[in-house]
Structure 1
Amino acid sequence: MTNRLSRGVRSFVTACVLLVLTAIAAEIGLRIKDDYKTATASPVELAERLTVPCWRTVRTLRPLAERETLDPDRGVRITVRINSLGLRGEEPQIPKSPGTFRILLLGDETFFGPYLAEADTVAARLESLLGSRTDLQVEVVNAAVPGDCPLLSTLRVKGTLLSLDPDLIVQHFDISDIAESAEYRRRTRLDEAGRALACPSATLESGRHLLWFEELKLTAAATSMLSRFFEPPATDAEPNRSMGLSWPDDPAQGELIRLEQALAPLTELRQIADGTYSKFLVSTCPQPWQVSPTASSGPSVREAAGVQAGQHYLSRSVFDRVAAYTTEHSIAWCDAVPYFEDYSAPDVLFFKNSVGLSPRGAELYARVLAKRIMEETPYVWRKVSGPGENIPRAADRRAETHSHDGTWFE
């Protein structure tokens, strides 16, 4: 009887040990898989892995985080570093050093560059282009966050970014911001004048704090499976961007209201810039399907974005309306769309196997921005026609090759 009981206890202990070891092995496997998924993640998925919930701006980049992504076309590993301020790139000095002209870039993954090496981002290219045109130290701070829109950018500026003392603030705006703004406005707290105060994370507002076992990948996998049968808890999921893929030439009143609401924070940003003796500029560049029917046409890329294969949205209506808004509100405007449209082989400006600017597309956008910035702040630069003088246009085609320093040549 004693031997039988002893064998039973040993069997039970052995089973428990095997169960624990199996769980540990599964956890390790899921973490390895998660690291691989981070490397191959979409911009939205990458944002979820690089960010933490925030009471003021839905989410913020995790300070001092470091993740690897893959160049979707070449398969080269890209390291994405987040500094202590929750911004991509090097640590900006606070207070700003004397003799420094600091540019603050705001926007979404177009400026953030999740699949671009740090040196290939719009921020780095812009800093290199402008640095050779002045005796000042030019510093371009990449304050973009994947999935952001002007509403969240404004909250970030009012919350922490003004401490960087920028001389120029550049806000990227594209058609996806309309859908994002409409979604985030639903949870935004406004003051009596209608200005945004905060856009709290739904996760934080729910009041729940993760227990130790809820942070396990094994728990997350089980929760994901069960959520197919039960209602999932409130999360900070990205808005459906397919709602903002195109814009009609004759939009309905509701669409005009959503556009006006998406643009409204730009006026507040301009007022903030004026109040801090900074310049303010709004810029845009197109999505792949606004330039070419074959750009970003890798397997399932367009399908995942809600765009049909071969679709080419030709309407300029939304860009014209944004331009009219900036003119009406005395905001400097930089429209890079014609430069992308006039490019001899526009497909190379975007990744084939993902949605986003390729290194060449980021360089072109930086060149257009550099020229516009020099026009807007001529007192800083030695020669206004510098970086943009060789931007390829339809009337003056340039060779497809370019040197390592970004200089276009015949």
Structure 2
Amino acid sequence: MDVKTKSTIFGILSVATSLIMAAGALELYVRLMETDGTNFDIEMWRYAKELKEVSGIPGAGHEHIPGKSGVYMGVPVTINSAGWRDREHSLEKGNSTIRIMMLGDSLTFGWGARPEDVTSYQLEGLLNANENKFEVINTGIGNANTAMEATYFMKKAYVYEPDIVVLNYFINDAEPTPRRTRNVLLEHFYSAAFIAGRFDVVMRTYFGKADWQQYYRGLYQENQPGWLVAQSALKELANYCNTRNIKLIVINYPELHELSPYPFQDVTSLVASKANALGIPFLDLLPSVENQAPNSLWVTKTDAHPNGRAARLYADAIRKFLLTQFTKTFDRR
């Protein structure tokens, strides 16, 4: 082997060694400095990796792994035997019990909120202020959309025989159903999740990738596949509930970055029109929070998921809406 070849091999090995050492240093840094429960990208990645699995139900996307638990965004998360962030619920319900099942995504799940600060928990407490006859079941799963939630209920969660199904809607519910990719780096390395998050910020800031407002609005352009699927799922869920005498309502959760004036009122009106056309009662939660300072409702200073204060305002608005819509049903119990 001549001197030139040896020099080339040595150079390649030196570069490879330097890259491996740099990658190792970055991984160590992220694990030590970015895992304090405040980095959204890391915490959501951990949650997906540790608490979720691909669903065996076609169209449901992913589900929680029953019995798993952990701490995410600094708060404890425990998944019950049914796969929900909730207490245990028996299949059978008391004759006088009114069972309400909440379908939804990370907002319903209560991302970043303590168990007692989740909207479903607050709602059950308010409904049972005078008598203990309401049971609220929280089936929320992070990164779910309307199509996934409807499929999950109709194929699996229906066995709990709710009297009322609440489809909790958020503006990103018109996204296509995500598919879990088996990327070795993203499956195992904190640093890969960290870099992916930073890369997205750079692309939005400097290279013209749609900002959050443009992105959300783009989901509702005519013939967007995710929005078409969401409408179809809503119609199918409405028919399913109607034939089984289950009350169905749709509740719209506002995007909490800007509230007054709210930038997505046209999208809310569009979703409301689709629900109304199917005869589904629709509640917009924006009026319950529009006079609040937006960041006073966030779980952290950089994460606009609703905190306990927002959950209480939401729960009170939902309670009033339920009592208005279903007074006769409640009175019969």
TM-score range, shorter chain: 0.7 to 0.9
Could you tell me which residue of structure 2 aligns to residue 267 of structure 1?
Answer: 235
Distance 1:370 1:54 in 2: 32
Counterpart amino acid of residue 96 in structure 1: K
Distance 2:140 2:302 in 1: 22
The percentage of counterpart residues that share the same residue type is 22
1:161 pairs with one of 128, 134, 157: 157
Matches within 5 A, 1:216-295: 220-221=188-189, 242=212, 245-247=215-217, 252-255=221-224, 258-291=226-259
Could you tell me which residue of structure 1 aligns to residue 71 of structure 2?
Answer: 68
> What CA RMSD, in Å, does the superposition of the two structures yield over aligned residues?
3.5
TM-score (norm 2): 0.74
TM-score (norm 1): 0.61
Alpha carbons 2:120, 2:315 under 8 Å: kept? yes
Matches within 5 A, 1:48-63: 48-56=49-57, 57-63=60-66
Gaps of 5+ in 2: 1-23, 197-209
Distance 1:271 1:81 in 2: 33
Matches within 5 A, 1:322-341: 322-341=271-290
Q: 1:68 to 1:267 in 2, by over 3 A?
A: same
Does structure 1 residue 141 correspond to structure 2 residue 111? no
Alpha carbons 2:167, 2:250 under 8 Å: kept? yes
Q: Which gives a bigger RCO, structure 1 or 2 (Cα 8 Å, sep 6+)?
A: 2
Distance 1:89 1:224 in 2: 31
Could you tell me which residue of structure 2 aligns to residue 360 of structure 1?
Answer: 309
Counterpart amino acid of residue 90 in structure 2: Q
**C-alpha displacement of 1:40:** 3.8
Gaps of 5+ in 1: 1-25, 71-76, 188-200, 209-213, 229-239, 293-311, 383-410
**C-alpha displacement of 1:140:** 0.6
Give per-residue Cα distances to partners, 1:160-195, cap 9 Å, x unaligned: 1011111110011121112x2xx22xx8xxxxxxxx
Alpha carbons 1:170, 1:283 under 8 Å: kept? yes
**C-alpha displacement of 1:86:** 0.4
Which is helix-richer, 1 or 2? 2
**C-alpha displacement of 1:113:** 0.7
Q: How many corresponding residue pairs? A: 284
Distance 1:241 1:279 in 2: 37
Alpha carbons 2:103, 2:168 under 8 Å: kept? yes
1:106 pairs with one of 97, 103, 106: 103
Alpha carbons 1:176, 1:245 under 8 Å: kept? no
Distance 1:35 1:60 in 2: 30
Does structure 1 residue 126 correspond to structure 2 residue 139? no
Counterpart amino acid of residue 85 in structure 2: R
Q: 1:47 to 1:35 in 2, by over 3 A?
A: farther
Could you tell me which residue of structure 2 aligns to residue 85 of structure 1?
Answer: 82
* Structure number, greater radius of gyration: 1
Distance 2:162 2:36 in 1: 32
